[in-house]
């Protein structure tokens, strides 16, 4: 059974604050690590797919890093805005024939104006 953990479970920050969350995953049989942003009543939105150790990805104010050897990824949000409020999910895909994603339980971010 693959174990993907995210911390913290929830987070409240003030508008303008920068924040980061952690995703830990198995360090063996790594294929890819996905980050999704999920707002209530909407589809989970793909943020990043990361495949290489040391990968850093950036999309606007959001960035992510990947360490496959130790099994963790960080998601950073710079200058949080109320519209960043959502649940952020990471998902691990193992190498081999299995194609499904194993998700963490998410970090629920609330950005207060």
Partner 1 sequence: GAGVSQTPSNKVTEKGKYVELRCDPISGHTALYWYRQSLGQGPEFLIYFQGTGAADDSGLPNDRFFAVRPEGSVSTLKIQRTERGDSAVYLCASSSGTGVGEQFFGPGTRLTVL
The footprint of partner 1 (CB under 8 A) covers: 4, 6, 31-32, 34, 36, 41-44, 46, 49, 51, 89, 91, 93, 98-106
Is the Cβ of residue 16 or residue 59 nearer to partner 1 in the bound state?
59
Is the Cβ of residue 100 or residue 113 nearer to partner 1 in the bound state?
100
CB of 25 to partner 1, least distance (A): 12
- Other C-beta atoms within 10 Å of 78: how many? 14
Determine the Cα–Cα distance for residues 92 and 88; give it in Å rounded to an integer. Answer: 14
Which residue is it, tokens 């193992």?
Answer: 94
Give the β-pairing of 30-38 and 86-94: antiparallel
């Amino acid at each position: 059974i693959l174990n993907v953990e995210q911390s913290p479970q929830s987070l409240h920050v003030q508008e303008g604050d920068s924040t980061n969350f952690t995703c830990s995953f198995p360090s063996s049989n790594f294929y890819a690590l996905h980050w999704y942003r999920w707002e209530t009543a909407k589809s989970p939105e793909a943020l990043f797919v990361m495949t290489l150790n040391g990968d850093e990805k950036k999309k606007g104010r959001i960035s992510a890093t990947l360490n496959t050897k130790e099994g963790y990824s960080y998601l950073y949000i710079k200058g949080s805005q109320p519209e960043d409020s959502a649940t952020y999910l990471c998902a691990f895909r193992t190498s081999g024939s299995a194609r499904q994603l194993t998700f963490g339980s998410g970090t629920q971010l609330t950005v207060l104006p």
